[in-house]
Amino acid sequence: MSNTDDRIEQILEAHRRRLAAIREDEEELESRLEARSAELFQAMAVADAEAAEAEEKARAEAEERERLEAEAQEQRDAIARSMAARRGKDVVAPVDEDDEEAQYYQRKSWLV
């Protein structure tokens, strides 16, 4: 029986060693997984921040283009109004009806 008991002890000891090695491997894998997960979360946060920054930049550029287009349209409209006024018998009508000097600019003859 002693031989059988020794054999059982050897098997149990081998099992304990394998189990300890497996647990060490598992702990190592878990620590590597945690480290990699932290790296991935950090990379995701950086990517999200870059995407938000790019979106904000694109929005600002679009607003600037709209502003410049509005200014250009305003200038084109002013030029068109001016050209129409010149074609209309050289009488310039003020855009602002409350212009106090409107009478001066609307006179028929500039010869005084």
pLDDT over 70 (residue 1): no
Phi then psi dihedrals of residue 101, to 5 deg: -100, 15
The predicted structure's pLDDT at residue 39: 96
Confidence of residue 110 (pLDDT cuts 50, 70, 90): low
Confidence of residue 56 (pLDDT cuts 50, 70, 90): very high
pLDDT (tens digit per residue) in 60-100: 999 999 999 999 999 999 888 888 877 775 555 556 566 66
pLDDT (tens digit per residue) in 12-39: 999 999 999 999 999 999 999 999 999 9
